[in-house]
Amino acid sequence: MGIRRVVVVPPSLMVEATCPEHGMERYKIKIIKKYNIKPEKIMPKYRTRPHHELSGVVIGKNITFETARDYVLRYLNESAQQNTVMTIRLQR
């Protein structure tokens, strides 16, 4: 599955990926800003069903959406899900 496009729709990232079975697959990764954690902290939030995958990113109050987007892109690179990224847009 190769990533075609990552679009930021606050407070979430819309990811479009190419899938060999279905052609194209879309999913959201939520960005959750919390004030009761350390201000510079970024924590992944995983879904448990149907698969153990990233469902969201919990960020502190001093973290920007661009930093959270970069964290998600690094996660996709490390988990070998990202082959090509066509566009990345930040919408507010």
10-residue averages of pLDDT along the chain (92 residues) = 60 75 76 89 86 84 88 81 49 48
**Three-state DSSP class for residue 61:** coil
Q: How many residues does the chain have?
A: 92
pTM of the model: 0.73
Complete edge-to-edge strand list for the sheet that includes strand 2-9: 42-47, 53-59, 23-33, 12-19, 2-9, 87-90
